[in-house]
Amino acid sequence: MNRILAFIFICTAVVAQAQYKRQMTPVFVQGTAYKNTGWFIAPGITYMLPVNRKESLTGYYENGDALDTLYSGDFTRAGKIGAYLEAGRHKFFTDRVLLDHMDFGVHYKMLRGRDRFDGAVYSPAGVAPVQSNSVFSDHFVGAFINFSNIIQLTDHFWLQNSLGANAEYALISRRNDGSFYGAEWQDPGKIVGQLHYKLSFGWKPEPGMYIVPSIETPILGVYPWYDLKSTLPYYTGKYRPIIFSIRIQWLTMSNDRKCENQPGHQVDTEKAGKHKSNDLWGPQNKKMKRKREKN
């Protein structure tokens, strides 16, 4: 899967360079009332995708020089939906080469799933059928950074490919552990570090405002070290975190831009000169007022 994601990123980057030559209004336009930086917030959901949804395993223990069966059965795994929220800063690059955009911030991530065992256990007393269910729910807080390439489709819509890194700490880890009778259990630990890929679809409803739905998944595991595998181990299986989010992103107004014809600002009238912020109706109206007072 990692090779497929890398291939998609390279292909879309090449297409982006070709699209750049087309005459379309850029996602960020320089020289307007907005800076090239701003804020964003993105609510969403997570889902833990099992690598193997169902797996038949048999465990053994050493009995002298021989091996005796300890358990045998099917492990059925399933992901559950969790909550997600991120917020931070973003910036458009004005001198575009390959990268068009970057963002960084903090996030909250809930990862949930289950691992069920249906089989039998073996003992000197005989064979006994067993059903067992284990559930995990981890609440992570962490930070992230992304670098993105934009492929414009129209003046208001685009595709966005992002590569980034995330590091997080499990603030709360909850386990409802069933009995697997000797099966080896795994756990990702409190600290997780990953490299990830994000595919987004952008919409610019008005200048300075952006709506960006995204799907994100890790592509390399950095910590703990699982031979760079991008999945996380829980109980007897491995799960791939998938994040769906909708980012609301906006740009900051430029300091040198002022709203014209609004109270509190100097406004041009029919005369070339300026008049004060409290002079809402112009000097000609003040003259008329003085004449009425004389009468």
Does the residue 70 lie in any domain? no
Count of structural domains within the chain: 1
The boundaries of the domain holding residue 226 are 2-51+82-115+133-253
The residue to which tokens 């970057």 are assigned: 102
Distances (CA, A) of 105 to 135, 168, 212, 235: 30, 12, 16, 31
Q: Please tell me the pTM assigned to this model.
A: 0.78
Does the residue 245 lie in any domain? yes
- 165 Cβ contact list (under 8 Å, min separation 6): 144, 145, 193, 194, 195, 196, 222
Output the pLDDT for position 128.
85
Does the residue 125 lie in any domain? no
Task: Give the separation between CA 265 and CA 101, rounded to whole angstroms.
Answer: 34
Write out the chain's pLDDT in tens, 295 residues. 555 555 555 555 555 555 544 578 888 888 889 999 999 999 999 999 999 999 998 888 877 666 788 889 999 999 999 999 999 999 999 877 789 999 999 999 999 999 999 998 888 888 888 888 999 999 999 999 999 999 999 999 999 999 999 999 999 999 998 877 778 888 999 999 999 999 999 999 999 999 999 999 999 999 988 888 899 999 999 999 999 999 999 999 988 655 555 444 444 444 444 444 444 344 444 454 455 555 4
Output the pLDDT for position 59.
87
The residue to which tokens 């592509």 are assigned: 219
Amino acid (one-letter) located at 175: R
Burial class (CB in 10 A: 0-12, 13-18, 19+), 104: middle
CB 186 within 8 A of CB 199: no
Task: Give the separation between CA 32 and CA 26, rounded to whole angstroms.
Answer: 12
Task: Give the separation between CA 196 and CA 216, rounded to whole angstroms.
Answer: 7
Does the residue 141 lie in any domain? yes
The domain that holds 162 is classified in CATH as: 2.40.160.20
Output the pLDDT for position 11.
56
Does the residue 284 lie in any domain? no
Does the residue 280 lie in any domain? no
Which H/E stretch holds residue 16? Answer: helix 2-20
CB 164 within 8 A of CB 16: no
Burial class (CB in 10 A: 0-12, 13-18, 19+), 231: buried
Output the pLDDT for position 273.
47
Does the residue 293 lie in any domain? no
Does the residue 73 lie in any domain? no
